[in-house]
Structure 1
Amino acid sequence: MIGAGMGAMAAAARLAVAGHRVTVYERSATYGGAVGSFEREGFVFDTGPALLHLPAVWRDLFLKTGREPLEKCVGLVQVDPASRHLFADGAEVSLPNASRAGIVSALEAALGAGAGERWGEFLGRARDAWDRSRRPLLEEPLWSDWRMLERDPYPAPRQRRLLRSRQASTVAEIGAWELADPRLAALLEGCALGYGLDPRHAPASAALLPYMEQTFGSWYVEGGLRELARAVYERCLARRVEFVFGAEVTAVVERDGRAAGVELADGTAVDADHVVAGADAAGLVGRELWKDGDIRPRQEAGGEPLPGRFTVLLALRGAGSPTAHRSVVHSPDTGAEAAAVFGGRVAELPTVTVLRPDDPRTRPDGGHEAVSVSATVAGHGGSVDWHDKALRERYAEVLIDTAERAFAGETAAGGIRERLLWQEILTPAETGRISPPSLAGPGGRHLHPANTTGLPGLYLVGGLAHPGGGLAHAGMSGALVAGLIVEGPGFRGSQ
């Protein structure tokens, strides 16, 4: 196993239970991949994803790999309200967790007559897209005839546009034509941006992302999401998975036309019946991994790196009184924001997410608060150099200025700057790119490579492979890879 990310560990635990001897080689000093944390002076912050969606994926892993269920290994708390949204016109709304009726009512009350009804109708169509694409996109290996997924499953109603009938084919068109309210459009487009998708071009099938969150809920892991990574790691150890940290794999060994092991940076060669790569494997193999017609890794558009996330970790004095765990301060122009993010520029008015966990495990005592603010930004290494100290500090100020809206009215403790002890800045230069989930739609442009490869015995797992990025998707990829190895090419997914 190459890499100790969440998808790789999910596969490792399942394979070990099935009787395989599994060794994980990880070049860094720890496990979890993007699910990291930062600790200083009693403050604890997630540095990757911070909320859990579709916890059933991880419940299934713990059920299938041992007697202790997930809730016995981590504290899992429903976040309610699921999110608070602040719009450019001054309107705001708090959306309840996993309640379509409650969400519709909240939007109707906050944004005016018809807003909730339109969002409810949109969620109904998004549910149809979910039902049509759930198995091939999440629960089954990617079909060899993946072109069946070129058809967008979102049932967009026909609209009269420029003297002819048209259907929304992108997230932005859904917002403009179906939701018909700039605040509802910002709600949808901001969600797409958070997953690393360009709402101007992302297929309408991306509607299933807010549907998934609002239907199955948002969950917080007590102590931070890093605790889930710890629990999965400990489950692997309990099933006798061996981890070797500080061990960089430099090549996949091929013998008799199939993967037969790995070679490490120190020259050590390790034999294996199967090799599972939780990282980009193309550079580790001395041959082309994909045939004509296969889905290949996502390419950078226009020469610019794929987007990442800019995050500021804030250690605050004083006990805050947050009205929501997650607040989103929406950009007044998501289209302009997306153009900057995907065009290699710094967005002047970004959509900013503020996370304020009311969790004593994340702060030194009740007189302090650990807060993070983040935005999706252009990737590192193209037109934007996130190593630039002046740029980092300037953009941190932009995010803090925007995030102050989420603190308005807290007279007891005050805003961010009055309470700030210190801050830590993380950019795509440190945390890498965002890997979006797989989506059906024209051209298969939003699909990820299959878990099997053109080299027999070599498998791909995690955010760079089917079914794409996201914590739930990583767990699904681990289940798919384990099924393919244990049951062989006839494996068709969970039943």
Structure 2
Amino acid sequence: MAGIAVIGAGMGALAAAARLAVAGHRVTVYERTGTYGGALRRFERDGFGFDTGPGLLTLPAVWRDLFVKTGKEPLEECVELVQVDPSARHVFADGTEAALPNASRAGVVSALDEALGAQAGQRWGDFLVRSREAWDRTRRPLLEEPLWPNWSVLADREPYPAVPHRRLLRTRRAGTLAEVGAWELRDPRLAALLESHALAYGLDPRVAPASAAVLPYMEHAFGTWYVRGGMRELARAVYERCLARRVVFVFDAEVTRVLDKDGRAAGVELADGRVADADFVVAPGSFAGLPARGEGEVVPQRSLPSRLTVLLALRGPRPKDAAHRTVVHTQDRESELASLFGAVPSAPALPTVTVLRPDDARLVPDGDHEAVTIGAVVPAGPELPAGRTELVADALVAAAERAVPGLRDRVLWREVRTAADIARETGAAGGAVPAPALAAAGGRLLHPANSTALQGLFTVGGWSHPGGGLPHAGMSGALVSGLIVEGPQFRGSQ
């Protein structure tokens, strides 16, 4: 039985802690803030409640597996999972709308044909078939296995089976997500639908590899889910599972460095000077005290996104037919991409926004009010001046009103959440939000391995393999646990 120090109480760290405790180890989690959950936080005021991190869950099987492996009570006995249907309503630049059923290829094809015209749905359906092939080729190495030592194979090989395209007397295949949209989907609205999945993670579709097609495929194949009471309830359930497995939590305890004894991790030192010995240390991939990466290790090279979120407390009930999630696409794609990924990134003036309207009585004071969350991607970095932040928030609300007419007239109050809030809660520099690992693109979208140059030190969470997103956080915890329990020979879940 080993003593294990876990730095931080994010979702990946909690997943690792629960699994390691079940394996018989003594696990202590040191969290610099006063609570658990990382980005899965909650804002409450006047009887209203809002998720301030991820608002929906894909691939819930990852968290079901955690609960199966760590106790008798399955996930569904600890939280109420609700399948969101429609999965999303889309409002395109030309005003066309489409509501896409959850986890139904035939339903999505029919909905797109009806909304966008004959053959549109079929083109999207054919794209999903090709996306599945990319998913099948990359699922294990990018989600279920430790990062391969020969990771460059993943960096150089494009798994998406692009359709040959005749262009300027040459036959080419799409290498980027934008080219997939232009050459295979052949409708600016379908292209916007595709690109919105990349933008949600702060990826530029013009340079994101075609393998990013797995992002819409995951949502299509495994469904979109909500946790009743808000996504923070998932964090609560995982935290309580850790407590039940006798994981010890020390809050308001900032770790400043990992102790190194004879080339092996030996514990942690806290900001107040305390030292805690340990046989293994698990740290966030963004922890400043990690050893330098060795030659040949993955070093991601990309611009880093964050999010700006506007929480709206509204007078008036939620309409019965309101979609849980609506994506309002920008009316000026080039301006949005230039502002997010140009030489000098700035908050987009005309953003693509996601509007979340959960049908959840636990988030409102009564049936005569509604809680709405509006979010958009912005560059990570220093906080904008207060006046500029409010202008960007105004732009988000104005864009959302294309999907919710009369929205501004219903506002009782609003709360604006910025990159600085994300940085304060997660510790990520500039409030950056990590993207999932993706194949191809020369390795830019891979993340460093969970093992490190210091023996006994492992990294977990969105800034290490397999990257950002709730499913990926859960798998990160499973990978770290496997590497500690089974050793370097661990090859992933079966």
Q: Do both proteins adopt the same fold according to a TM-score greater than 0.5, normalized to the shorter chain?
A: yes
Contact 2:281 2:458 in 1 (8 A): yes
The CA distance in 1 between the partners of 2:433 and 2:167, in whole Å, is: 34
Q: CA deviation at 1:433?
A: 1.4
- Gaps spanning 5+ residues in structure 1: where? 409-414
| 1:253-302, Cα deviation, whole Å (9 max, x unpaired) | 00011111100001111111100002523x314x42x2111002x3454x
The CA distance in 1 between the partners of 2:317 and 2:10, in whole Å, is: 34
Contact 2:208 2:441 in 1 (8 A): no
Q: CA deviation at 1:434?
A: 1.6
Q: Which amino acid aligns with 1:175?
A: G
Q: Does 1:271 align with 2:277?
A: yes
Q: Does 1:159 align with 2:165?
A: yes
Q: How does 1:288-437 map to 2 (within 5 A)?
A: 288=292, 290-296=293-299, 298-299=300-301, 301=303, 306-321=304-319, 322-343=321-342, 344-381=345-382, 385-386=383-384, 388-408=385-405, 415-431=406-422, 432-437=431-436
Q: CA deviation at 1:396?
A: 1.0
Q: Does 1:121 align with 2:126?
A: yes
Q: CA deviation at 1:213?
A: 0.3
| 1:39-83, Cα deviation, whole Å (9 max, x unpaired) | 001100000001010000000000000000000000100000010
Give the structure-2-normalised TM-score: 0.95
Match of 1:54 among 35, 50, 59: 59
Q: Which amino acid aligns with 2:491?
A: R
Contact 1:193 1:338 in 2 (8 A): no
Say how many residue pairs are matched: 477
Cα RMSD for the two superposed structures: 1.0
Q: How does 1:14-33 map to 2 (within 5 A)?
A: 14-33=19-38
Q: CA deviation at 1:342?
A: 2.0
Q: Which amino acid aligns with 2:62?
A: V
Hey, what does 2:117 align to over in structure 1?
Answer: 112
Q: Which amino acid aligns with 2:134?
A: A
Percent identity for Structure 1 against Structure 2: 66
The CA distance in 2 between the partners of 1:318 and 1:155, in whole Å, is: 48
The CA distance in 2 between the partners of 1:492 and 1:338, in whole Å, is: 39
Q: CA deviation at 1:442?
A: 3.2
Paired residue secondary structure (2:436): coil
Hey, what does 2:426 align to over in structure 1?
Answer: none
Contact 1:83 1:328 in 2 (8 A): yes
The CA distance in 2 between the partners of 1:352 and 1:226, in whole Å, is: 22
| 1:110-162, Cα deviation, whole Å (9 max, x unpaired) | 00011001101100100000000000000000011101102010000110111
Q: Does 1:65 align with 2:58?
A: no
Hey, what does 1:230 align to over in structure 2?
Answer: 236
Q: CA deviation at 1:334?
A: 2.9
The CA distance in 2 between the partners of 1:70 and 1:196, in whole Å, is: 30
Contact 1:189 1:334 in 2 (8 A): no
Hey, what does 1:440 align to over in structure 2?
Answer: 439
Contact 1:307 1:342 in 2 (8 A): no
Q: Which amino acid aligns with 2:409?
A: E
Q: Does 1:477 align with 2:468?
A: no
Q: Does 1:487 align with 2:486?
A: yes
The CA distance in 1 between the partners of 2:393 and 2:285, in whole Å, is: 30
Contact 1:190 1:334 in 2 (8 A): no
| 1:426-475, Cα deviation, whole Å (9 max, x unpaired) | 11121111200000003111100000011111100000000000001000
Q: How does 1:193-204 map to 2 (within 5 A)?
A: 193-204=199-210
Paired residue secondary structure (1:22): strand
Q: Which amino acid aligns with 1:4?
A: A
- Gaps spanning 5+ residues in structure 2: where? 1-5, 423-430
Q: CA deviation at 1:307?
A: 1.3
| 1:74-107, Cα deviation, whole Å (9 max, x unpaired) | 0100000010000111110000000011001100
The CA distance in 2 between the partners of 1:491 and 1:142, in whole Å, is: 11
- Runs of 4+ off more than 2 Å: 298-301, 332-336
Paired residue secondary structure (1:308): strand
Paired residue secondary structure (1:153): coil
Paired residue secondary structure (1:250): strand
